[in-house]
């Protein structure tokens, strides 16, 4: 069996889709913090920032996860 290899200083064989799926858990953790933070910056009252930012962030993350995963309906 012949193995495909990539030489040093080369991106031969590298695919964004493989990188994305391999790092999905890390990307998801970053989004869990970033999305609610940026979503909450539109509200002035701190109570609404936390609540609405979390709700909007959770909604966006759930939509993204549904889109990228195979889901049995």
Can you give the pLDDT of all 73 residues of the chain as single tens digits? 778 777 777 788 888 988 888 888 888 888 878 877 776 777 667 777 777 777 877 888 888 888 877 877 7
- The domain limits of the chain are 19-68
The model's pTM is 0.54
- Would you put residue 34 in left (φ > 0), alpha (ψ -120 to 50) or beta? alpha
Q: Which pLDDT value is given to residue 43?
A: 66
**In whole angstroms, what is the distance from residue 57 CA to residue 41 CA?**
12
């Amino acid at each position: 069996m012949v193995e495909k290899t990539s030489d040093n200083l080369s991106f031969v064989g590298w695919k964004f889709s493989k990188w994305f799926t391999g790092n999905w858990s890390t990307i998801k953790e970053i989004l869990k913090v970033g999305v609610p933070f940026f979503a909450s910056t539109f509200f002035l009252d701190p109570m609404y920032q936390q609540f609405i930012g979390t709700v909007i962030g959770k909604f966006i993350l759930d939509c993204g996860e549904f889109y990228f995963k195979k889901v049995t309906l």
